Structure 1
Amino acid sequence: MSAPIAALFASGTGGLPPAEPVDFATLRLPASPNTCLAAPPGGHPQAHVTVPPFEVAPDAAWAALLATCDAQPRAFRYGQWPERRQAQWVARSPLMNWPDIVAAEIVPAPGGCGLFLFSRSLFGYSDLGANRKRVEAWLAALGAALRR
């Protein structure tokens, strides 16, 4: 059984190959409608969602990002690269246990920081909007955490 297929029958991050960081500067989205990319203004030409800058220090946003994303339902930390302020999670669907990968990176910006948030399906062509809904929910949760 290949690692991706094994991921269907596992829990948490089980069955997946080791996580690797995402290079948002060179990221090219697939033609399939099973991804959602949120980026700072002008941060990526294929972004589906624009994230206004956060008026907090990058390190404060990084700490809030980790706490917020770790608290999301059925989300499991998959990898992290603190020197880049990037982390990844496996988010599993509630009914079928499908694993999606969510990558987030805090980047410095004038007056604070920006955020890349990329959710993608590992299986199938369409996700029926699940990745976009996840990105919007995680952005709302992070925004609320940063306002506290």
Structure 2
Amino acid sequence: MSAPIGALFGRGAGGLPPAEPVEFARLVLPPSPNTCLAAPPGGHPQAHIAVPPLPVDAATAWPVLRRLGEGFPRTTLIRDWPERRQAQWVERSGLMNYPDIIAAELVPGSAGAGLFLYSRSLFGWSDLGVNRRRVERWLAAFEAALRRR
């Protein structure tokens, strides 16, 4: 996906195209190394990180996930789809204001909820590992928030 040049000058979700839900079952990652996908084990053939089942069901984890972006700098909720238990945020880089999109969805599972978490750059080819580090931070923050609930 390419973003309009106006996305570089916006704040929060300003300048970005309207958000649409991510269809994780049909998601094909781009050839560029500027994405990171975490998914339940066996949940996606291109996943970079396997996320074990959560110790709670999807309904219990949803409000925790929905608030997760509030704890990260320069991160704004773009939109959520409660019926899907999916939300999307934009995080802007501190120096250049580049927008990266983070999408997360909870899915029911027999051993606990499954989590998809996808971070992608809208500009450039390589992100020097930024999206993977972001996904790892979000996963750690989500696990800690679930323990505190």
With normalisation by structure 1, the TM-score equals 0.96
- 1:66 alignment counterpart: 66
Q: How many residues align?
A: 147
In structure 2, the residue corresponding to 1:54 is in which secondary structure?
coil
The answer for the alignment partner of 1:5 in structure 2 is: 5
Q: By how many angstroms is 1:66 displaced? A: 1.1
Q: Distance in 2 between matches of 1:85 and 1:140?
A: 19
Report Cα offsets for 1:69-120 as digits up to 9, x if no partner.
Answer: 2322111001111100000000111111100010000000113201000000
Letter in structure 1 aligned against 2:102: V
Gaps of 5+ in 1: none
TM-superposed CA distance for 1:3, in Å, is 5.9
Note if contact 2:3-2:123 (Cα within 8 Å) is conserved in structure 1.
Answer: no
Secondary structure, counterpart of 2:140 in structure 1: helix
Whole-Å separation in 2 of the counterparts to 1:110 and 1:140: 22
Output the CA distance in 1 between the equivalents of 2:145 and 2:17. Answer: 31
* Per-residue deviation, 1:135: 0.3
In structure 2, distance between residues paired with 1:116 and 1:4: 26
The residue correspondences of 1:1-148 to structure 2 (distance < 5 A) are 4-148=4-148
**What is the deviation of 1:67?**
1.4
Structure 2: tracts of 5 or more residues without a match: none
TM-score by length of 2: 0.95
SS at match of 1:112: coil
Aligned partner letter, 1:6: G
| Cα-to-partner distance string for 1:8-43 (whole Å, 9 max, x where unaligned) | 011100001110000000000011000000000000
**1:105-142, Cα deviation, whole Å (9 max, x unpaired):** 00001132010000000000000100000000000000
- Residue 110 of structure 1 aligns with an amino acid whose one-letter code is S
Provide the alpha-carbon RMSD of the alignment: 1.2
